[in-house]
Amino acid sequence: MAIEHADFEGVERLAQVLGGEIVSTFDTPDKVKLGQCDLIEQVMIGEDRFLRFSGVPLGEACSIVIRGSTQQILDEAERSIHDALCVLMTHIKDSKTIPGAGAGEMLMSGAVTMGSQKVAGKEAIAVEAFG
């Protein structure tokens, strides 16, 4: 299969995943290393057509298609996905985690609430309000 009018970054990734070689001419097609996959299909997402390559031999790769009503929504979605992927990559490289985002405060609140059940009278109301 030959792909015309594709951005070079996408073609580089595709060649890497399929195990093929990028060529600019077809002068010596017998010397070109061809890539492989099980299935190539054209899919429609909205009004846009895309090629989907399935069953690639050299590992997994994927594309994320982001759609939105305005450019601002698309930009925010792209930033959010980028942030999530960065967190995932960091976690894969170093799988140590530290509780955060109020985890300590939630633990303390639960302990105070449990402790308030052991207190009698008006003091119990004050302890519950604190937890």
pTM above 0.75, yes or no: no
Q: Where are the alpha helices (DSSP H) in 32-118?
A: 71-93, 103-116
CATH number of 1-65: 3.50.7.10
Give Cβ neighbours of residue 46 (< 8 Å, ≥ 6 apart).
67
Q: Where are the domains of the chain?
A: 1-65, 67-97
Residue type, 68: G
CB atoms inside a 10 Å sphere around CB 18: 19
Please give the backbone phi and psi of residue 51, each rounded to the nearest 5 degrees, phi first. Answer: -100, 130
pLDDT tens digits for the chain (131 residues)? Answer: 666 677 788 788 888 888 888 887 778 878 888 888 888 899 998 888 888 888 887 667 778 889 899 999 999 999 999 999 999 999 889 888 777 778 888 888 888 888 777 878 888 777 777 66
Instruction: State how far the Cα of 86 lies from the Cα of 75, in Å rounded to an integer.
Output: 16
